[in-house]
Amino acid sequence: MAVLQLQRHGARFPTLGASLNIVSAVGKLQRVNVYNHSAMEFLHSFDYLLGVNDLVPFGALQSFEAGAAVYERYSNLVDADHLPFVRASSGKRVVDSANNWTAGFSAASHHVYQPSLSVILSEEGNDTLENHMCPNGGSSDIQTAEWLAVYAPPITARLNSWAPGAHLTDVETHALISLCAFHTAASASSVTDAPLSPFCGLFTQTDFAAFDYAADLDKYYGTGYGSALGPVQGVGYTNELLARLTRTPVRDRTQTNRTLDSDPATFPLDRTVYADFSHDNTIVAIFGALGLLRQPRDLSTSKPDARRTWRTHAMVPFSGRMVVERMTCGDGKEYVRVLVNDALQSLEFCTPNAVGLCELPAFVESQSYARSNGGGDWEKCFSADAVQS
């Protein structure tokens, strides 16, 4: 048996762009002298102290606990000669998450096994754990802007009525909703000790549902199925995954690092546990390349489909993960099973009515998109007439 885990970094501070909008919005609210709603009163004494980009302590804990959970679930696969092989993209929060994961794995084994981060893939070069090498990939800016114009104005009007003269914009309203989560995560010391930020009290469940849908649109049209060149950005990792499952050399012509992937020291094929650390946009692209979590119809930018299967918060939350298991069953055949945040995937693209279990040869055969000439639609990432999202 072998286990291959792909994990997003843990909870972090807002990115620079989000931080700028948050600081602008908070500043506008704090310049108001008299509020018309008691939910705003905390702003008189609030200090915004969040950092930018890096992990928060709770995010570090998430990765530590994830490493411990892998040891507890798969300890029978590990011995002194078969320690987990760990890779990470070079972003600081990703590297820190990988190191926290190895610490958690080690602690769970009472430090009998002490895996280390073996390979850091530079985000400036060929890197299957970072989606940055498809110039024609496009973005979700159009779709998210259209939805913002639908859902945000009533919320913005309400906040501005509570804080006369603040003149918040819809973009700033969106940033303030995100601050509920960022401020809560930054203040949390554990899953059970995470007091809600007072910013959460400014919004309703309907507001949060609309904000949540904005994230669905962002990922779906960014690197998901709604982007013509979204899934191709996950092809390189998919071909690495197939190489590990079949214990054969990587066949790929996309964003793989050929030097590292051809060296057994930096891309071994004989390990029983692999752990890779990445970002949400890249993991979404990998889901698309694999054929996981398909959405039956494109997402609307005017009204959420309550029956949609594409739910970003369930797919790539902070520290979210995909686990691919290769196992030998009683019939002597090798099978593949895939879990996304512990939810068993049906793998209907592999075998109809597979119920989450697919024979290894059939799984490999199902990956025709990634295996096609070793690159799917990779050439379209650079062609002048490529169709973009």
Please identify which residue in the block is written with the tokens 């019939």.
Answer: 331
User: With contact defined as beta carbons under 8 Å apart, do 62 and 11 qualify?
Assistant: yes
Return d(Cα 163, Cα 28) in angstroms, integer.
9
Residue the block writes with tokens 């501070």:
13
State the burial class of residue 307 (Cβ atoms within 10 Å of its Cβ: 0-12, 13-18, 19+).
Answer: exposed
Rounded Cα distance between 226 and 269, Å, is 33
Contacts of 15 (CB under 8 A, 6+ apart): 52, 53
Selecting among 9, 174, 183, 279, the annotated active-site residue is: 9
Q: Which of 128, 80, 70, 100 is nearest to 254 (CA)?
A: 128
In whole angstroms, what is the distance from residue 203 CA to residue 181 CA?
A: 12
What would the two tokens of residue 31 be? 């310049």
**Using an 8 Å Cβ cutoff, are 185 and 11 in contact?**
yes
E strand or H helix at 21: helix 16-30
Q: How many CB atoms lie within 10 A of CB 209?
A: 12
Residue 370: name the closest of 221, 219, 231, 226 by CA.
Answer: 231
What does the alpha-carbon distance between residue 279 and residue 318 come to, in Å, rounded to a whole number? 9
Which residue reads 């793998």 in tokens? 347
- Long-range contacts from 164-172, C-beta under 8 angstroms, 24+ separation: 164/32, 164/34, 164/36, 165/31, 165/32, 166/28, 166/29, 166/31, 166/32, 167/28, 168/25, 168/28, 168/29, 171/21, 172/21, 172/24, 172/25, 172/28
Q: Which residues are CB-neighbours of 306 under 8 A, at least 6 positions away?
A: none
Annotated catalytic residue 44: no
Kindly list the catalytic residues: 9
